[in-house]
Amino acid sequence: MSFPSFPPMTASSTSYQNTMTAMMQPASTNDHTLIGRIAAQGKRSLSLRSLVATSDHILIGRMFIVLSLLCAFATAVLGVLLRIEHIAHLFRLRADHYSFMVFDDPNNWFRMWTLYRMSFIFLVLLPLLIGLGMTIIPSQIGADVLAFPRAALGAFWCWLIGATIMVVSVLGGGGWGSLYHVTPDNTDAVSLTLLGTGMTICGLLLAALVIATTIISLRETGMSLKNVPPFTWSMLVASVVWLTTFPIVIANIALIYTGLHGGQATSFAVSEDENIWLQLDWITEPPAVYALAIPALGIILELLYAASGRKAPWPTFGAIAVGLFGFLSIGGWLQDFFVAGNLTADGMPVASDPRYQLPYVVFAMAIMLLVFAFSANMFSLPRVKNTRTASLTLMLVAATVFGALRVLEPFELLESTITTSVFNALAVAGIIAAVAGICHWSYQLFGVTLVPEKMNQIILILLLTGGLCLTGADALSGVLGADSFVLLPEVALDVESPLSSQVEAQHVSSAFVQTFDTGSIAAFLTFASCLGLSLVAAGLLMLSIEALTTFGRTPQQVTAHTPSQEMASTT
């Protein structure tokens, strides 16, 4: 296997070296920044036109980043609310057995829970990483321009409008199916949710296409695909994986939508054994969900190189790891693995299926190898000042370990909260990766260091501790036997729904409620996870505020900072 090798960071001049050097130049000579461009064009500030009609990839990327950070905060808050509801159940704080505290009824709870997961994927992680890719990749490959800048702008607006339709329709009673059958009352809202999701995905796919084409087709002379920077390589792998994974979601949505409108007889949404959410939830579960974290690996490598000033021990290793990560996270083929009672076609339980276990074991091995490889650099750094790399790596390792644990048969954790923990770990890892990337390239992105160094550290610590708290607590609950958060336990028992019947079949008898009847440990763990998520939300809030304020900065304010200082402090 000879995968592309990343260029060595030695004194010998390579194009990568040049690019890096160029990126560290002050604004006066080679101003790649947005602010610099606006200043060059003689504009005083951002106008509506420059936001709505721009063809500047940095501005488009920045819009992606800022909006997805805001979405991240909102999603985290939604997660906190969901957990508060959960705690309320466990402490029996509700007025009566079936009523809810935050959400009116179980159906609402379910819809919000699905929204939480979907928005983390489509409104937060993907756009955040795409935004980062759009801004950074052209300068990394010496292109200075995206392949299809207008398509990139179209992608942004398509994403934004699709996301708006999606969120608003969920709030208005739609959602990806529901606990109860989809009724004529909410068919329209559900349809809008589905179509909004499709539109959101289309926007993101278009953006991924633009990025992939840029990487393939617009590299500078002398830069073969073999020696592109790690982040670029990881974005190429990620874009291709996204481009081959998410169309399957769109196909499913088309099928569901037509079924929903084609009449009750054949509707997928309302028939007894199939539910909309069950047809789509494979993207929120391993292995497909790992695809969201592919660029994170690239960012880790970039940070390591930048921090150490040295190449990795084996130049091609990083590329291989990233590629492998991409291979393994292709998950569309597993999409209805779980249909019909989590049994395989042979009637075996899925958890015992080697085909299902294998990827995760390999995954774990790959990540472990990666960590070993990096650790050599990390510990030999002149100044160990690498919170981002460390935290990012930690979250990824957590996700992988949990993911592997989840499928190993002896533990029987497949439907436990550890699934949620894997998802959350990846989500937080993705966010940390993006934050790390934004801080690392903030000069290219915003013309300034995004946040003061101390604030930067605080945010990262918040995200890391919050993330670890969140995922660790969930994982522990899972190990202790808690059910997946698909449903609140009692709802699962009481409500006749396609979902509950399945959950009931396998897990409810041995679940959470029985094991921790008083709910004390469960409540504590849930509380811990809720706290963790709150910390993440706080970190995201700080980050969003910083991003927003930076977004509107004028060139004059920027020049107050000395770029060289900024760069020194961030590296």
Partner 1 sequence: MFTAGFKFFFKLFVVLITAAIVYGYTSGGNHVGPLSVGWKGGVGDHTGYGILLALATVSLVISLALIAFRDADAEAQAELLNVDRIPIPPQRAVKASWWPTVSAFGIGTTVIGLVLHPAIFVLGLATVGLVVVEWTMDAWADRVTGDTKANRMLRNRIMAPIEIPVLGALAVGIVVLAASRILLTVSALGAVLATSVIAVIILAYASVYVAWPELARKFIPELAILACFVLLVGGVLAAIKGEREFHHPESSSDSTLYETDTDDASETHNPIDGNIDENHSGISDTSSVES
Partner 2 sequence: MTNKHTDQPTGEVENTATNAAGVGIGTSTAADSTAAADVNATATGSSTTDNDSATDTVSDNSANTTGKDVVERPLGVFTRPEGGRGWRDWLSTVDHKKIGILYGVSAMFFFLVGGVEALLIRLQLAAPNGSVLSADVYNQVYTMHGVTMVFLFIMPLAAAFANYFIPLQIGARDVAFPRLNALSFWIWLSGAIFLNTSWIVGGGGADCGWFCYSPNSGVAFSPSHGVDFYAVGLQILGIASLVSAVNLIVTCLNMRAPGMTLMRMPILTWMLLITQFLLLFALPVITVALFLLMFDRLFGAQFFNPDAGADPLLWQHLFWIFGHPEVYIIILPSFGIISEVIPAFSRKPIFGYQFMVASGIAIGFMGWGVWAHHMFVSGIGPLSVAAFSLSTMFIAVPTGVKVLNWLATMWDGKLRFTVAMKFAVATVAMFTIGGLSGVTHSVAPANTQQTDTYYIVAHFHYVIFGGGVLGMFAGIYYWWPKIWGYLLNERLGNWHFWIMLVGFNLTFGPMHILGLQGMSRRIDTYATGYGFEAWNMVSTVGSFLIAFAVLLFLLNVWKSKRGSPYLQPPGPDPWDARTLEWMIPSPPPVHNFDTIPSVHTRDEWWHRKYAENEQGEVVSVVTAEEAAQTGDAKGVHLPSPSFWPLAVAVGFPLIGYGIIFNLWLALVGGLIVLTSLYSWAMEPADNPDTQHDDHDHLQHDDDNAHTEDHDNQDSQDSASESPDDNKDNKQLTVA
Partner 3 sequence: MKTTSLPSPVPTRPRTVLIGSLLASSATFIAFCSLVALYVRHRQQARIVGQDWFTEGSLQLGPASMMLMTLLLSVVTVQWAVQSAKTEDRPHQFMALGTTLLFGVAVLNQFWFVYQDVGLAIDDSKAALFFYVVTGAFIAMLVVAMIAMIIATVRSLAGTFGKELANIVQASAFFWHATVVCYALVWYTVFVTK
Q: Which does 31 bind (CB under 5 to 8 A by kind): partner 2, partner 1, partner 3, none?
A: partner 2
Give the footprint of partner 2 on residues 67-86 (CB under 8 A): none
CB nearer partner 2, residue 149 or residue 466: 149
571 binds partner 3 (CB under 8 A): no
Question: Among all chains, which residue has been given the structure tokens 């509107």?
Answer: 552
Q: How far is CA 128 from CA 68, 100, 157, 210, 459, in A?
A: 6, 33, 14, 15, 17
- Shortest gap between Cβ of 442 and partner 2 (angstroms)? 19
Q: Per-residue string for binding with partner 1, 139-178, x by CB under 8 A?
A: ---xxxx---xxx-xxxxxx-xxx-xx-------------
Tell me the β-bridge partners of 349. Answer: 343
Contacting range for partner 3; rule: CB under 8 A; set: 107-115, 172-180, 189-197, 205-213 = 205-213
Spatial CA neighbour of 141 closest among 212, 245, 43, 69: 212
When the beta carbons of 122 and 485 are compared against partner 3, the nearer one is 122
CA 223 to chain centre: 29
Helix (H, G, I), strand (E, B) or coil at 281: helix
CB 277 within 8 A of CB 114: yes
User: Given the complex with partner 2, which of 31 and 105 has the nearer CB atom?
Assistant: 31
The answer to whether residue 222 forms part of the interface with partner 1 (CB under 8 A) is yes
The token pair at 333 is 């083929």
Q: Which residues contact 155 (CB under 8 A, 6 or more apart)?
A: 203, 204, 206, 207, 210
Of 42, 35, 39, the residue nearest 59 (C-alpha): 35
Hey, what's the torsion of the CAs at 559, 37, 223, 441, to 10 degrees? Answer: 40
CB under 5 to 8 A by kind: which of partner 3, partner 1, partner 2, none does 254 bind? partner 3
Confirm if 192 and 165 have CB atoms less than 8 A apart: yes
- Cβ 474 vs Cβ 421: under 8 Å: yes
Contact yes or no for 274/280 (Cβ under 8 A): no
Residue placing its CB nearer to partner 3 in the complex, 208 or 492: 208
Backbone φ and ψ for 440, nearest 5 degrees, come out as -65, -40
Residue type at 34 in one-letter notation: L
Q: Which of the residues 110 through 149 are near partner 2 (CB under 8 A)?
A: 142, 144
Distance of CA 45 to the CA centre of its chain: 32
Q: Nearer to partner 3 by C-beta: 168 or 216?
A: 216
Taking CB under 8 A as the rule, which mask of x and - marks residues 238-277 in contact with partner 3? --x--xx-xxx-xxx-xx--xx--xxxxx-----------
Q: How far is the CB of 233 from partner 3 (least distance, A)?
A: 16
CB of 226 to partner 2, least distance (A): 20
- For the bound state, the minimum distance from the C-beta of residue 239 to partner 3, rounded and expressed in Å, comes to 8
Site for partner 2 in 207-266 (CB under 8 A): 220-221
Minimal distance, residue 7 CB to partner 2, in Å = 19
Choose one: 330-338, 360-368, 411-419, 537-545; the region binding partner 1 (CB under 8 A). Answer: 330-338
Which parts of this chain interact with partner 2 (CB under 8 A)?
29-32, 37, 40, 142, 144, 220-221
